[in-house]
């Protein structure tokens, strides 16, 4: 039985810059709390962290996604929050994850994508396409799944 059957599926993809003092412990806490909160709200998604930068997709009922994004937006652990795309979807991309999380170094990101950082990835305008972003996040969701 699909626990995530909803009337209107909505998603947001955004990027942001982590505060310099953010630690690995903070990242684990973000992942833990997000997973719990998202499970209560029927939200799924993927959070990627690359050396001080975040890229995240949130999906679920529109009102709940927007409420969650508003809460995330005022979190002082990151700045420069930019919505890359918003859309209505027919199906979830990350149904199995309340919040998938994957952290990697700039070198690891560069080896996989050819870009040194999330910022440089977005400086190449063609990579702001939603399909490409979902594809990128799914690659890291698969790696995160192998870690669990």
Q: What is the largest CA-CA distance in the chain?
A: 43
Write down the pTM of the prediction. 0.88
| From 61-65, 68-72, 100-104, 122-126, the region with the lowest mean pLDDT | 122-126
3-state helix, strand, coil in the chain (%, to 5): 45, 30, 25
The two tokens of residue 100 are: 């998938």
Task: Give the model confidence (pLDDT) of 54-82 as tens digits.
Answer: 999 999 999 999 999 999 999 999 999 99
Inter-CA distances, 35 with 49, 77, 127, Å: 16, 17, 27
The percentage of the chain sitting over the pLDDT mark of 90, rounded to a whole number, equals 63
Q: Scan for tokens 């679920």, then name that residue.
A: 60
Domains of the chain: 9-147 (3.30.70.100)
């Amino acid at each position: 039985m699909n626990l995530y059957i909803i009337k209107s599926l909505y998603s947001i993809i955004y990027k942001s810059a982590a505060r310099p003092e953010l630690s690995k412990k903070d990242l684990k806490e973000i992942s833990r709390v997000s997973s719990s909160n998202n499970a209560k709200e029927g939200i799924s998604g993927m959070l990627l962290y690359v050396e001080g930068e975040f890229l995240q997709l949130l999906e679920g009922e529109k009102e709940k996604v927007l409420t969650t994004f508003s809460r995330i937006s005022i979190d002082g652990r990151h700045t420069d929050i930019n919505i890359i795309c918003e859309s209505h979807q027919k199906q979830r991309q990350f149904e199995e994850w309340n919040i998938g999380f994957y952290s990697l170094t700039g070198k690891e990101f560069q080896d996989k994508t050819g870009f040194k950082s999330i910022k440089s990835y977005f400086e190449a305008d063609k990579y702001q396409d939603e399909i490409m972003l979902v594809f990128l996040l799914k690659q890291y969701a698969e790696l995160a799944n192998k870690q669990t």
